[in-house]
Structure 1
Amino acid sequence: VDNMDPPSRAEMFDFHGVCMTQNFTNTWESVQNFKARPDDILIATYPKAGTTWVSNILDLLHFGWMPSERQTTIPLYDRVPFLEICVPNMHSGIDQANNLTTSPRLIKTHFPVQFVPESFWEQKCKMIYVARNAKDNMVSYFHFECMSMVSPDPGSWSSYMQRFMKGKLVFGSWYDHVKGWWEKKRTYPNLHYMFYEDMVEDTGREIDQLSSFLGLSTSAKEKENILNEVLFDNMKKNKMTNYSSFPVMDFKISPFMRKGKVGDWKNHFTVAQNEEFDEDYKKQMKDPTLQFRTEI
């Protein structure tokens, strides 16, 4: 591996009105033509909003009964493929999704709602969207882009904040993303919209609501096992969930799973930055029904 060139940082460009990189647009045609099945479950989030956490919960809810080597030998990113990813020298997400043998297939995406392949809607697939408050989401994304060698260079924290407010990050504007999916919920009943802060506050309650949405009956014992498996510290130590085997990340810079807290933004924003951000946030987030908590 030593003589392989390090992967190069991606360049962003406007793609159908959304900032993207080639790692997520190269397989656009085949992703758009993806044949969803009625029992597929799509997990959607803006990057760094709890995707891995919810993926692990869903995988355990559906397949926790299977022989334990599934959980101990197959990384979560292979059990729950990332639909649009296409990084050199790795299987594309679309190929992984098409080759899944489990049923239901659990598939994740960071697409804004308008990019989701048509067949998911036609098949009335169940979808789970996880939203995280803007400030913590931005902090997490910043640290991720520092350590992900295929992401665009994040630059300084203050320039990153400016880009976040303008929606100039990969997968576009956080504001458009959370609002677009929230809007969809009004007309698409098979969408369960969750908040990262609620999950931190009471993971058990959120697992109950997920089970109910998915029509699963989960015993108290199963739920206790899942709760233990999905504790942040346990997932961070678990090589199958912490992305330590994923080749394009530099854990010397930062771990993929960093803190998993609500309110870490306070360690990053200056008072002036926070005021500027809040001012801008009010302009962009006018819908009184969509409310986020920046602390719990």
Structure 2
Amino acid sequence: MPVTDELRTTESVRTRSSVAGQTAVVTGGSSGIGRAIAETFVADGADVVICSRTQADVDAVAEELNAADRPGSVLPVECDVTDRDSVDALAEATVEEFGGVDILVNNAGGTGEGGPLHEVAPDDWDSVIEVNLTGTYNVTHAFADSLRENGGAVVNTASMAGRYGVAEMGPYSAAKAGVSALTRTLAVEWSVDDVRVNAVEPGFIATPAVREWFGLDEIPARSDVDREIGSPHEVADAVRFLASDAASFITGQTISPTGPPNTFEPPTG
């Protein structure tokens, strides 16, 4: 009796690790981690629908990537993940253009203003929960039928803030903890439909906002393992893995692109 399910070939390994030929939706795809995910998927041969609240922002990304002579393509759609009508329109545009979706990446989010919890205004709390947690629900719910019909993969963007809790980031920490819990719950519910649901839980990543915050002129090199800040494309590589058939026996899990273990303390320098 063979000890493996099949004899591996170079081509089968490459195919299993690829998202080529898949249709993916990436929310929050105009910059930072979302844009890196879109770039990675398109370079691998996936057709990607990217969205953000401003059409011009996703148009600029789509124009650049579609002109880069890569095997995949990009469809830009304006969408506010907190608005159900807007999310329904995103789902309709995706189905109309590609017939359905194979991969959903819930990446849209935001930290809000921050500050001690007793100083956080109710409206600020609501807005952070709405975009990070409710937005993830809204988009996942809108694509549920398409995903469950033929199987697929969902990858949610959580955060190390949701695991540890971060002072003066109470709403964001709570929202991202909710995303992680929703990931585990949905993984159980949708496993019978052959849909895998996982999450990434990034630490400090050199997005434009983080680079400005810490005064970074350059994104740290991948070869330096002992570092406190990663690159958006390192997160994108983890998302690509979770979305591919290489992760076929992984669901309800969270991968943490964080570098050496830490408790989400800000980098020291």
Larger relative strand fraction = 2
Q: Confirm or deny a common fold (TM above 0.5).
A: no
Q: Given the two structures, how large is their TM-score scaled by the length of structure 1?
A: 0.34
Q: Given the two structures, how large is their TM-score scaled by the length of structure 2?
A: 0.37
Higher RCO (Cα < 8 Å, 6 or more apart): 1
